[in-house]
Amino acid sequence: MSKILVTGGAGFIGSHVAEAYLEAGHQVAVLDNLSTGKKENIPAEATFYHADLTSRKTLETAFSEFKPEILNHHAAQISVNRSVREPYFDAEQNILGGINLLQVCAEHEVRRFIFASTGGALYGDAPKIPSPENTQVVPPAPYGIAKACVEHYIRFFTTEHGFESVILRYANVYGPRQDPHGEAGVVAIFAMRSIAGESCVIYGTGDQTRDFVYVKDVARANLAALEVKQGTYNVGTGNETSINALFAEFKALNDMLEVTNDDARPGEVFRSALDATRAHKDLGWEPKYDLTTGIRETYGWFRERSVQS
């Protein structure tokens, strides 16, 4: 059993990771500033620290009290659009906040650092699909630039301070608790629109593809990352799903669902999928959920919530 501090554990993915760690018998604390996260997402068994990555003082309190052995870093400003509009703010949260956290980890002798990075936002329009980890990193927006930068800092801290690190580069994660009001969670947005009886908006032709990986599979990758040798791993299904095909999944659940087409969004990556062969070999990880099953589970969760509210 390890003591694990999950930053961003009040958010979508971090809360599923915290749950998976608790279920595996670990002692878990969550550190979050609740900027997009919600208290109700934090598992009841986890200790909660209301702290900000950019505040050394609040980080110190959490580390001194909880004394984590492993740090799982999910807290971030996750809006790509906001990173384009406000690159300084993005860098402050995601780069400087990350360095702050790494420094506190080094001072408190954290043994292992696990980082939620990204595949698509690092590789951009990659020459090879699905893209392996050695794809050239050419982030099209500050959000990806910050992730690449923190990856470099992690490698530096790993060498300089002797802790182990695992970098997980996610594809497009979807599932229960994703924010349907954000810009990125197309699955959550389609689910909410379908339940509300509103039409789904598809930008451009709808032929653009993404690699949708279910959040419970991502949580399992974070479990595997506790044990394995350090390294950088893609976490995706390797399957390309077009937005039109995704819409068809929702149409199968609600025949009344309609679609509206709008202009393509400038700068949008056209094709994206991650090759997770390395995670399969080294972590023994592969996705268990196919898209239809994951969508059904997600849709059911959103529907239940809409009935309750």
Q: Give the phi and the psi of residue 21 in degrees, each rounded to 5.
A: -65, -45
143 catalytic, yes or no? Answer: yes
Interface with ligand NAD, residue 80, by CB under 6 A: no
Helical H runs in the chain?
12-23, 56-66, 80-85, 87-91, 97-107, 120-123, 142-161, 186-196, 215-224, 243-253, 277-278, 291-308
Interface with ligand NAD, residue 140, by CB under 6 A: no
Distance between CA atoms of 274 and 171, rounded to whole angstroms?
A: 6
Q: Mask: binding to ligand NAD, 161-200, rule CB under 6 A, as x and -?
A: ---------x-xx-----x---------------------
Interface with ligand NAD, residue 272, by CB under 6 A: no
Interface with ligand NAD, residue 217, by CB under 6 A: no
Interface with ligand NAD, residue 53, by CB under 6 A: yes
| Identified catalytic residue from 123, 143, 214, 289 | 143
Judged by CB under 6 A, the residue of 19, 32, 151, 249 near ligand NAD is 32
Interface with ligand NAD, residue 144, by CB under 6 A: no
- CB count within 10 Å of CB 69 equals 17
**In this complex, which beta carbon is closest to ligand NAD, that of residue 1 or of residue 57?**
57
Provide, rounded to whole angstroms, the least separation between the CB of residue 174 and ligand NAD.
Answer: 7
Interface with ligand NAD, residue 12, by CB under 6 A: yes
The owner of tokens 């971030």 is: 76
Interface with ligand NAD, residue 58, by CB under 6 A: no
**In this complex, which beta carbon is closest to ligand NAD, that of residue 254 or of residue 271?**
271
Residues 6+ apart with CB under 8 A from 12: 41, 173, 175, 177, 178, 179, 185, 215
Distance between CA atoms of 1 and 171, rounded to whole angstroms?
A: 29
Structure tokens that stand for 138 in this block: 């050419």
Interface with ligand NAD, residue 97, by CB under 6 A: yes
Distance between CA atoms of 79 and 85, rounded to whole angstroms?
A: 10
The owner of tokens 């900000």 is: 52
Interface with ligand NAD, residue 149, by CB under 6 A: no
Under a CB-based contact definition with an 8 Å cutoff, are residues 301 and 176 in contact?
yes
- Sort residue 177 into left (φ over 0), alpha (ψ -120 to 50) or beta: left
According to CB under 6 A, which residues from 273 to 292 bind ligand NAD? none
Interface with ligand NAD, residue 37, by CB under 6 A: yes
**In this complex, which beta carbon is closest to ligand NAD, that of residue 181 or of residue 229?**
181
**Chain residues in the site for ligand NAD (CB under 6 A):** 8, 10-14, 32-37, 52-54, 74-78, 93, 97, 116, 118, 170, 172-173, 179
Q: Which residues are part of the catalytic machinery? A: 143
